[in-house]
Amino acid sequence: MSGVDAAFLYFETPSMHMHVCGVLVLDPSTAKEGFGFERVRELLASRLVLIPEFRRKLSATSLRLHHPVWVDLIDVPVAEHVTHVVLPAPGGVEELERAVADFAEVQLDRSRPLWQVLVVEGLEDGRVAVVVKVHHCLVDGVAAGDVLAQLVDLGPEGRTAGEIYEASRLVAERRRRPGLPEMLGHTVKGVVTRPVGIARLVPSAAKAVTGLVRTRRSGESAGGTMPFQGPRAPWNGSVTGRRVVALVDVPMGDVKAVKKALGGTFNDVMMTVVGGAFHRYLDGSLDASLIAVLPVNVRREGQRGGNQASAMFSTLATDLADPVERLEAIKAATAAGKADQRALGGDIVEQAGALVEPILVSFAARAYGALRLADVHPVIHNLVLSNVPGPPIPLYLAGARIDALVPLGPVLDGAGLNVTIVSYADTVGVGFIACADRIPDLRALAAQVRPSLDELLAVAARP
């Protein structure tokens, strides 16, 4: 396991859960063989051969002096990983959100492969939801998309056993459970090479900082955003393990219309929409803009699985009432952030992650939460905001058409709120998840997404 992947294990505490979720809302009418809890279990059992992440189990190193290793299991008891609930009437969005929040509150059992699936029945119009929960040490946003790709199909007919077999030949071979001598060797190697890694990190860090300073002085990153610049929002501070969820989606065509008329990237437009939702929700209660931290994919071509991401900071321009001014400020901030990322390079994160010390980091994370330090020091950033590119065409799960796809990220101590955006077919899903003790009215915030987009559409439609 890489140091970056392992860090998500070390940072996890009883109140800060480091798993990610994906909510799929399905139309079962397209499934000729019927659709339900048992059908989902059968699908997962047949597709495990394609998903090495779902067959892996943690094996801790001696005295936790180095990162854990993954061991592939021969048999994974799928029944233990798939559960189901039936929503109370009327089975609307709010009932679904409560069920998803309850599911997200429960941490994954580290004695088993780190994933779980919840099948939610009883939705209005006969629909069914499937919620997939995977630990962040296994996947980032891009890798989660790779996992989803192995579960879904391009049509309701699915894949034949022969097609699954051929696809499985491309999956890496199983890794056997290492013996005690190998585990001891792995630990010793990690401990011995750590000083060498630190020595190598110093010049890399110096080069990265020099590049960043040069970029800043050249003006290439003018308009950039730095941490500790945001105000303290109501949801910022120490978090508990309770969660609240809000799910919304907007038409892809509307987002493209704004992008075409006003410029910027898809991400710029959606950040402006989210920023507008916060502006409307806060109603002028904060005199400075919210600051978001944005995960950035640094995956090299051909890399699969795990976490290959860095991060940058950006304003959401929530202090600006004019939506066009907000868009221009965000365009400048994201362009500056990208320039900073190019100057820093992606290798610095990977190098630093390899040097993470398990016991020390785990202790620090738990002490930080227990002492409620996030309530004391200035706010580093106000929220995490991710944008994950999704499939541009409709997909099917066990024959049922996926009508909506909404992701949810981890809720971090200090920020207390995570917003994740994903494009899928002709819609854009936006998932809000937060500490329920920090912002219990999360749905009121999510309800401002559509009006915020309408503001931009009105400007885009002007001659």
Pairing state between β 56-59 and 243-251: unpaired
What amino acid is encoded at 175 in this protein?
Answer: R
Distance CA 449, CA 250 (A): 8
Name which of 190, 105, 29, 146 is nearest 408 in CA terms: 105
For residue 5, what is the enclosing H or E element? helix 3-10
For residue 40, what is the enclosing H or E element? helix 37-47
Name which of 271, 235, 275 is nearest 379 in CA terms: 235
Cα distances (angstroms) measured from residue 90 to each of 44, 121, 373, 442, 447: 29, 12, 42, 20, 19
Active site residue 136: yes
For residue 149, what is the enclosing H or E element? helix 141-151
Distance CA 330, CA 334 (A): 6
Give me the catalytic one of 136, 186, 279, 381.
Answer: 136
Peptide bond into 323 cis (omega under 30): no
Name which of 63, 297, 104 is nearest 188 in CA terms: 63
How many residues in total does the chain contain?
463
CA geometry: angle 159, 146, 73, nearest 5 deg? 80
Name which of 240, 236, 215, 218 is nearest 227 in CA terms: 236
- Give catalytic residue positions: 136
